[in-house]
């Protein structure tokens, strides 16, 4: 349940998220318009060939061909219908199998993952934290120092500006916080 609530909260989020969702919505609207147009053309081309199918069958055929399932239960016999089938198939491959996954990843999944990554690393230490060492970079020397501090049961925090680096350090069990290391008031107030 936590997974779904985080998706919804990221969708309602900032300005760029709303813009990304709008682009994804337009893409899906274009795809739906293509399905509707192809279904209507299917109906008329089948009538031209002397066959009659329901409108539901037109949608079924269009989605079957666009997704490259191609059951083969409904086929055209004339060249016009076969050429139409090729157009529907190629546009389906381009839109549904190539562009839709990339659009979904770029405009929905990647921003959601970035928002989740930013939420992982804390921006402040717990209020009862005191007598701790603040480090403003992470490298081999810092890693060795952290091991020493753990040996002596000393509290520490590594402040980094990059959310991605903070997430990686947090995943490795290092006490990290996101902040501006060049701003002394930020360090004093939060850490």
**Domain stops at, among 120, 142, 168:** 120
Q: Is residue 44 predicted with pLDDT exceeding 90?
A: yes
Same domain, residue pair 148 and 68: no
Answer whether residue 70 is part of any domain.
Answer: yes
Phi, psi of 135 (to 5 degrees): -115, 140
Strand-by-strand arrangement of the 155-160 sheet: 132-135, 155-160, 176-178
The pLDDT score that the predictor gives to residue 5 is 54
For residue range 90-116, list pLDDT tens digits in order.
999 998 888 888 888 888 788 887 777
pTM: 0.59
The pLDDT score that the predictor gives to residue 130 is 74
Same domain, residue pair 159 and 101: no
Answer whether residue 174 is part of any domain.
Answer: yes
Nearest to 65 by CA among 90, 99, 44, 37: 90
40-44, 128-132, 160-164, range with the lowest pLDDT: 128-132
The pLDDT score that the predictor gives to residue 64 is 95
For β-strands 176-178 and 132-135, DSSP reports them as unpaired
The CATH number of the domain holding residue 141 is 3.40.50.720
Cα–Cα–Cα angle for 143, 149, 154, rounded to 5 degrees: 140
Range(s) of the domain holding residue 150: 132-190
- List the structure tokens of 57: 């069958």
Same domain, residue pair 136 and 105: no
Same domain, residue pair 45 and 79: yes
**Into how many domains does the chain fold?**
2
**Domain stops at, among 99, 120, 141:** 120
Q: Is residue 187 predicted with pLDDT exceeding 80?
A: no
- Which residues lie below 8 Å from residue 150, measured CB to CB, with a gap of 6+? none
Same domain, residue pair 99 and 183: no
Q: Is residue 39 predicted with pLDDT exceeding 90?
A: yes
- Contact between 76 and 82 under an 8 Å Cβ cutoff? The reply is yes
Q: Is residue 1 predicted with pLDDT exceeding 80?
A: no
């Amino acid at each position: 349940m936590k997974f779904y609530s985080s998706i919804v909260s990221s969708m309602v989020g900032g300005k760029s998220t709303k813009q990304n969702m709008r682009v994804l919505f337009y893409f899906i609207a274009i795809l739906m318009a293509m399905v509707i147009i192809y279904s209507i053309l299917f109906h008329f081309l089948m009538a031209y060939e002397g066959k009659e199918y329901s409108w539901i069958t037109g949608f079924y055929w269009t989605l079957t061909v666009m997704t490259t399932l191609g059951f083969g239960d409904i086929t055209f016999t004339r060249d016009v219908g076969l050429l139409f089938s090729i157009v529907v198939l190629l546009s389906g491959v381009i839109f549904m199998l190539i562009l839709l996954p990339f659009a979904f990843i770029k405009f929905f999944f990647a921003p959601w993952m970035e928002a989740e990554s930013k939420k992982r690393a804390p921006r402040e230490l717990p209020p009862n934290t005191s007598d701790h060492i603040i480090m403003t970079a992470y490298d081999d020397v810092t890693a060795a120092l952290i091991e020493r501090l753990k040996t002596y049961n000393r509290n520490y925090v590594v402040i980094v500006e990059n959310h991605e680096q903070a997430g990686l350090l947090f995943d490795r069990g290092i006490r990290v916080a996101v902040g501006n290391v060049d701003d002394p008031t930020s360090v004093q107030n939060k850490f």
